[in-house]
Structure 1
C-alpha cells in the first residue's frame, strides 16, 4: 500500500469513527428524551392519581334541605322522601366510635343529599358496640339521650353534634350536662328531654336494641353500612364519589 492509499484508508477510518461517535450522541439524546418523556408521563399519572383520590374523597356540600326524618319506636331513624322505599341504606353506628365520626365527616352529607334527592332511603341504627369502659358507658349515655328526642330534625341536629363533640376513647364523656347542653344547641324542645337524659331513662333500651341488632346483622365493627342488605366496602364508604355511584347504581 503506497502513501496515498494509506492516507485514504486513514481518512476513511477516521470518518467511520466520527460517524460512530455521532451515532452514539444521537442515541444518547434519544434515550434522554425517552427518559424525560417517561418521567413527565409518570409525574402526570401520579398527579392524576392524586387528583382523582382527592376529588373522590372530597365531601359533598349540602344541596338543600333534609328529607323527612322519622324516629321509629325501636330507636332507629328513617330519612327518606315520601314514597321512596329503595335502595335502602342501613347505617349501623356508635356515637363513641372514632371511625363512625370520620364516616360522618367524610360521607355524612352524601347520605343526606341522596335522601333529599329521593335517590335512597337511609336508615340510622345507633348502637353500643363497645364492651369496655369508659367507651361503653359513654356510648350508652349518648345513644340513650338520642332516644329522648322524637322530632326527626332535632334528632339529626343532635346526632351531628354528638359526633362533633365525641370524647376520647380513654376518657369519660357524653356526660348528662354535656348532652343537655347539646340538646339545647340542637333546638330540642321536648319538655321531658333533660330529665330523660339525667336519669338515663333509655339506657336499658339502648343496650337491648344494640344486642338485638348486633346479633341479627352479625356485626363485628362500626361503622357498618349496608346497601340493600349487602355491606359496602370501606374503599367506597369513605369516598363520597364512589359511595354515590354505588347507591345510585343500585336503584337501576
Structure 2
C-alpha cells in the first residue's frame, strides 16, 4: 500500500486529498471501454475535449495529475464510463491535467508526464492518457522518465520526431503551469475532482458508474448536481 503524505499544489494554491492505491506489478488496465471513442480536440487553453459532433453540454471536467494515486483510482473506477458518456453524446468531456505534487521525486514525475501529455496530438491523446496511468510510478520512486514517455507514445501510435523533441526539451511546461493555475481559479480543492457544468460532483458519482450517469442526466435536464462535501487542508483515505 502507498502511504499518504501532505500534498500541496503551489501553482494552483489548493489542498488535496490523496487516496491510497496498490500496484500489483506490470501495466495496469485503466479506463476500459470497448466502443469507439468520441472525437478529441485540443482546446485553446491546452485542455483536451472529447465529444460527439454537436454536443456542447453538459460539460464534465476532469482535473487530474498522472502521478496522483487518487486520480489513478478514479480512472480505474470511472474511466470507461467517462468515455462512454462522451461517445454516446451525453456529455462533453474535458480533460484538464495539471501539476499536483510539490515534493520530489513526485514533482518531477508529475511535470514530465504533464508535459508529455501536452505534447501529444489530440487524435492519440486519450490512448496516451490511459497509457500514462497504466504505468504510473509507485509513490516515492522516480518514474515517467523521458525514454519511457517516448516509448509509450510509440506504442499508441505517436512516433513523430516533433513529439520526441517536445518531451526532451520540456516545450509545453508553460502550458502545464497555466493548467495548474486554472485549477486553482476553478476552485479545485481536493482530488479526485470532477465537475459538471462547473459544479463539483458528489462522492457517490465519483464511486459509482450508475450514479455518475445519473448526475450527467440531471445536469443535462437542468437539475441540480449533487455536490461533494468540501475537504480543505486535510488528508483522507477513501475506502
TM category, shorter: 0.7 to 0.9
Unpaired runs of 5+ residues, structure 2, are: 1-29, 222-239
Distance 1:127 1:222 in 2: 12
Structure with bigger RCO (C-alpha 8 Å, 6+ apart): 2
RMSD: 1.7
Change (3 A) 1:147 1:61: closer
Cα drift, residue 60 of structure 1: 9.0
Name the structure 1 match of 2:217. 248
Point out 4+ residue stretches in structure 1 off by more than 3 angstroms: none
Structure 1 segment 89-238 matched on structure 2, within 5 A: 89-152=60-123, 154-210=124-180, 212-238=181-207
**TM-score scaled by length of structure 2:** 0.76
Distance 2:54 2:32 in 1: 25
Distance 1:85 1:172 in 2: 39
| Equivalent pairs, count | 192
Partner of residue 83 from structure 1, selected from 46, 54, 57? 54
- Write the deviation string for residues 138-182 of structure 1: whole angstroms up to 9, x where unpaired: 111001001111233x11111000001000120111000110110
Q: Are the counterparts in 2 of residues 71 and 77 from structure 1 also a CA contact under 8 Å? A: yes
Name the structure 2 match of 1:7. none
Q: Are the counterparts in 2 of residues 60 and 240 from structure 1 also a CA contact under 8 Å? A: no
Name the structure 2 match of 1:54. none
**TM-score scaled by length of structure 1:** 0.72
